[in-house]
Amino acid sequence: MNKKILFRRLLFSLIIVLCAVVMVMGVFEGRDFSFYLKTLLPTAAGILGLASTFYTSLDKQKTDQMKHDFQEAASNHFDGCPKAKKLFYKGYRAWYGDHYDAAYHYLKKAVKAAEAGRAKARVLFLIGRIAVEEKKTGRAIEYLKYALEEAPSYDMAWSNLATIYFDSGQPGEAVKCCENAIFYNPRKRFCLQ
C-alpha cells in the first residue's frame, strides 16, 4: 500500500472516530436532534472517503502486471527523456485503469516532452490504442500513422492498423499493413492468425 492511500485511510478513519466521539458526547449532554444531523454529514463523508480508498487504486497483482507491461512498452525508448518517460508512465497507468481522459492528458504532454522519435512513436501508438478501445477509428488511424512517421519500422503500429482496416472492411489496406508488420518483425505472428 502506498503512502497516499495509507494517509487517506488514516484521515478518513480519524474523521469517523471524531464524529462518533462528538455524537457520544451529545448523548451524555442531552443535545437535541438537530445536533446529530450536523454530525451526520462529516460522518458520511468519512465513511465514503474511507470506502473509496479500497476501490480507486489498482490491486497489487494488477499494479505489478501494469509495471511489467510498462517496462516492456517503454524498454529503451525513453533514454535521455526522463520527463517524457514519467508522463508516459502516468498516461500508461491511467489507460490501464480505464481512465482514458487522464491518459490522453498525460500522453499528449509526453508527446511534447519526447525528443527521440522512438519515444514519440511509443506515446503516439498508445494514444492510437486508446482510440481503438474507445471505438474512435478515425483518431486511431491518425495517431497510429503519426507513430509510423516517427518510427516507420514499428511493427505493432502496422499490425494495429491492419486490424483496424480489416474491421472497417478495407482488406487491401489491411494486407499492406500486415506485410509491413511481418517485414519489420518476421518472428512475430501478427497477421498470420
Q: In this predicted model, what pLDDT tens digit does every residue of 75-102 receive, in sequence order?
A: 777 777 888 888 888 888 888 888 888 8
Candidates 16, 105, 9; CA nearest to 56 is: 9
Classified as helix, coil or strand, 152 is: coil
Q: Residue 61: pLDDT band by 50, 70, 90 thresholds?
A: confident
The domains of the chain are located at 3-55, 60-151
Grid cell of 76 as nine digits: 529503451
The share of the chain scoring above pLDDT 90, in percent, equals 26
DSSP code of 191? T
Q: Residue 63: pLDDT band by 50, 70, 90 thresholds?
A: confident
Classified as helix, coil or strand, 134 is: coil
Residue type, 74: A
Non-local (6+) Cβ contacts of 95 within 8 A are 103, 107, 126, 129, 130
Q: In this predicted model, what pLDDT tens digit does every residue of 20-57 receive, in sequence order?
A: 777 777 777 777 767 666 777 777 777 777 776 665 55
Non-local (6+) Cβ contacts of 168 within 8 A are 137
Helix axes 137-150, 155-167, angle to 10 degrees: 160
| Residue-level pLDDT at 12 | 79
